[in-house]
Amino acid sequence: MNSSNHPIYAVVTGASQGLGKAFALELAKKENNLILTSLPGEGLAQLAEQIEQMGCLVHYRETDLTITTNVMELTSWINDNYEIDILINNVGFGGNKRFLEVNADYIEKMLDLNVKATALITHQLLPALLKNEPAYVLNVSSMAAWCPIAYKTVYPASKAFVYSFTRSLQSEFSGRPISFSVLNPGPMKTNGDVSSRIETQGMGAKLLLIPPSEIAKISLKQLFRRKKVIKLNWPHRLGWFLLHVLPVSIKSAILSNNAKKEMERAEQ
């Protein structure tokens, strides 16, 4: 265990809303001090104030992590000023769009955030994490990582990277005082509009809808048990099983059709 008298922090990226916010609040309930980051103008200061009122130390930085220099400045700031033992790589974005209707900037930003930022933040903060025992890294992938999906296209490919990246780190650092876990959530009840669009996909999607607060609670419990692949509940476990045993042609057709329905619902 770390014997330093300095406070130890957990780092959460994409922390201002949705699952990232849920992780931050759940960690605060467990009396973890926090370092939070998100885009400017998303209410991060208010979240930090709420967490401070829970009795935890909290620092935050608003920055765009699609820009490499911002990633390096963030990690340097953390390394120069704080000791850490938990990293939650939650930052990322997706969406349903026709591939030919997106522009190059959309594709580049998705890859920069979902792939490059996750890899660079992990790489830059890993030495600091290894100074504290035990240490934990949780990378947020997606159930989409297990199947090609039309109208999402780049997103499942980027999340497949996160899944493979995490499993590779598990092998490379086996036996070291650090564990790497990957979470592959399905649809989330982030707001009423999102929930209603997903519910058009049928009973399977409805069963997989889980509030971010519940996902964070279950995920952290399994993270601290050093689970390599986090599974949330029985519908999620069933989805994991089906996506691993069904032929690509079948599962891709089903999920692509669902993505098209959700996209068309959003266009209305």
Query: Which residue is listed with tokens 């399977």?
Result: 204
How deeply is 181 buried, as exposed, middle or buried, from its count of CB atoms within 10 A (0-12, 13-18, 19+)? buried
- How is residue 201 written in tokens? 């996909």
Q: What is the dihedral of CA 255, 257, 263, 267, to 10 degrees?
A: -170
- Which sign, positive or negative, has the C-alpha torsion 87, 88, 89, 91? negative
Q: Tokens 């996506």 belong to which residue?
A: 243
Confirm if 11 and 3 have CB atoms less than 8 A apart.
no
The pair of three-digit structure tokens given for residue 100, joined into one six-digit string: 């030919």
Residue type at position 169: L
Distance CA 45, CA 38 (A): 10
Tokens linked to 158: 């980027």
Q: Which helix (H) or strand (E) holds 34?
A: strand 33-38
Q: For the chain, report the end-to-end CA distance as a whole number of angstroms.
A: 55
Residues acting as catalytic residues: 155
Among residues 255, 117, 87, which one has the least CA distance to residue 183? 87
